[in-house]
Amino acid sequence: MLITAGPTREPIDDVRFIGNRSSGTLGIELAREAVNRGIRTTLALGSSVHEPNIREVGVTRFETTADLHQLLLCRVPDIDILVMAAAVADHTPAVRHPGKLGRNETGSITIDLVPTPDLLASVAASARPDQLLVGFALEPADRLAESAQPKHETKHVALIVATPHDTMESSENEATLFPSAALSHLVERSPGQRSKESFAAWLIPMLVQCLRHKANR
- Residues with catalytic roles: 20
Rounded-to-integer distance, Cα 59 and Cα 50, Å: 12
Measured CA to CA in angstroms, residue 195 lies from 25, 35, 64, 135, 192 at distances of 11, 19, 28, 20, 10
- Dihedral of CA 158/163/165/170: which sign? negative
| Burial group, residue 26, by CB count within 10 angstroms (0-12, 13-18, 19+) | buried
Beta-ladder partners of 43? 3, 59
Measured CA to CA in angstroms, residue 49 lies from 9, 22, 26, 46, 185 at distances of 13, 10, 13, 9, 38
β-strands 132-139, 159-164 pairing? parallel
β-strands 176-179, 159-164 pairing? antiparallel
